[in-house]
Structure 1
Amino acid sequence: MSVLSKSYGTLVLYVVIGAILGGLLGELLSGVDALSSLMPYLKNPYPVINVVPSVIDIYVISLTVGFSFSPNLMSIIGVVIAVWIFRHT
């Protein structure tokens, strides 16, 4: 195994891609009738961090800064699978 394959940057990349793919999979599975009773729990976002936007106005530049982290259960499952794949590659 190379050093690059087990770096923190690669792990972050795996986690981000896993979260995105998990969220996309949740959106795709929302149209499946067999999962219609389960999908609201898997697809609804759960707010963890919500920093309201603040505006910094210094007359020349106006900067708006805010942050929100609201994963859904499918994104978390995607992250878990991504970390498992990272550890086993």
Structure 2
Amino acid sequence: MKRAASMGVFWCIIFLVGGGIAGGILGDALSAASVGNVMPLLTRHYEIFDIENIAVNLYVLEFHFGIRFAPNILSIAGIIAAWLLVRRVR
């Protein structure tokens, strides 16, 4: 029973990430189009958080990692559409 619930969360996360990626790709594709003053607003990236590169040196192995979340409005719309799709499928 627990495995079925965890697979539901896994697929929910996959759908949300896929919706964000699809919205981001759509935003980048539409950024070249000039449809009045609306497109720059929809395709501008809004930085939510940014964790700079962190270096961990273990003298045998060295790691560098960081994360940045800066979606545009169409990415957020894709995440919302994916959330609605997941709720409808369940």
Normalization by structure 2: what TM-score?
A: 0.83
Cα distance in 1 between the residues matched to 2:56 and 2:65: 8
What's 1:16 paired with?
A: 17
2:69 corresponds to 1:73? no
Q: Map residues 1-89 of structure 1 onto 2, 5 A cutoff.
A: 7-33=8-34, 35-89=35-89
Point out 4+ residue stretches in structure 1 off by more than 2 angstroms: none
In structure 2, give the amino acid aligned to 1:65.
F
Instruction: Name which of structure 1's ranges 23-32 and 71-80 shifts more when overlaid on structure 2.
Output: 23-32
Q: Give me the CA root mean square deviation.
A: 1.8
Cα distance in 2 between the residues matched to 1:69 and 1:20: 12
Cα distance in 2 between the residues matched to 1:40 and 1:75: 14
Q: Name structure 1 gaps, 5 residues minimum.
A: none
Normalization by structure 1: what TM-score?
A: 0.83
1:47-88: per-residue Cα shift (whole Å, max 9, x none)? 111111111112221111211111111100000011111111
Secondary structure class of the residue paired with 1:56 = strand
Deviation, structure 1 residue 36 = 4.3
Cα distance in 2 between the residues matched to 1:39 and 1:87: 29
In structure 2, give the amino acid aligned to 1:18.
G
Q: Name structure 2 gaps, 5 residues minimum.
A: none
